A = this chain, B = another copy of it.
Amino acid sequence: MIDIQALYKISYGLYIVSSGDRSRGNGFISNTVFQVTAEPPRFAVCCSKDNYTAEFIIRYQVFSVSVLAQSASTEIFGKFGYRSGRSFDKMAGTSVKYGKTGVPIVLDESIAYFECKVIQTLDVGTHLLFIGELLEAESTDDSKEPLTYSYYRQVKKGVAPKNAPTYIDKSKLEVKSGSGLKKFKCAVCGYIYDESAEPVRFADLADDWVCPVCGSEKSEFIEIP
C-alpha cells in the first residue's frame, strides 16, 4: 500500500529555477533542488518535461536557483508557479540580475541564489533531473528564513501544481481515511482546497482567508465532487 501521508513527510524548500539569457528567460517554482556532491559542489534540480523552463535549460545548459524567503507573497507563486511562460514574459516586471553565464537570476522575494552549469541530464520519466556544477553562490538576505514546502502547505495553504514531482493525484492512491472530506475550487484561478490534504475543514477557515494563488475571497470557492 502507498500511504500518501508518508510522502508529505519528506522535507523540501521552495525555489525559483530559471534559465535563458539576457534577451529571453523563464523560471518556475521548484521544490526539488538538492546538493549532490560537495567536492566540487554540484546540485540536482528536477523539472517536468512539460515545463517551459525545461526547454530553456536544455538549450542554454545553465540554470539559476533563487531560494524563496518564508515571507514570499502569494503573487510570486501565481506568476512563477501556476502560469506558463509560454503565454507571457515572466521576467518582465521582475527584479533580475544576470549571472556570469548570462542566466537570469530572480531576486524578488529571495534570500540567496546559485548559478550552475549543466554537466549531466537524467531522464527519470515524466521529469528531467539536471545536474549542475556550481559557478556562483550568494546569500543576499541573512535576516529571513528560507521558505519550506511544509510551511507553504501548512501556513500558506499552497498545493503543488500539476507539473510538480510531488503532485498527488489522489484518485490513483490509497488514502487512509477520507470520509466526509470535501474539495473546493477557486472559481477565479482554479486552485483546489482539498480537505484531505489540509489540517482544517474549508468551513473552519477564517473569514478573511484568501486563495493562496490569486487572492480571491472565500466566497469565490465552489464545492466540487
Contacts and interface: CB of A to CB of B under 8 A. Distances in A.
Interface stretch (A20-28, A131-139, A187-195): A131-139
B124 A9 contact: no
Contacts of A111: 9
B35 A32 contact: yes
A125 B7 contact: no
30 contacts: A1-B137, A1-B138, A2-B134, A2-B137, A3-B138, A6-B114, A6-B138, A7-B114, A9-B67, A10-B67, A10-B146, A11-B13, A11-B148, A11-B149, A32-B34, A32-B36, A34-B46, A34-B165, A36-B124, A36-B165, A37-B124, A38-B126, A38-B165, A38-B166, A38-B169, A39-B172, A120-B124, A129-B131, A139-B176, A146-B150
A35 B7 contact: yes
Q: Report the 4 A-B pairs with minimum CB-CB distance, sorted nearest first.
A: A11-B13, A6-B112, A5-B139, A6-B137
A10 B32 contact: no
A175 to B, nearest CB: 11
Contacts of A180: none
A194 to B, nearest CB: 15
A175 B7 CA distance: 36
A2 B146 CA distance: 18
Stoichiometry, as copies per complex, reads 2
Contacts of A40: 125
Interface residues of A, number: 56
A142 interface: yes
Interface in A160-193: 164-169, 172, 176
- The interface centre, meaning the residue of A35, A39, A134 with most chain B CB atoms within 10 A of its CB, is A35
A64 to B, nearest CB: 12
A41 interface: yes
A42 interface: yes
A92 interface: no
A57 interface: no
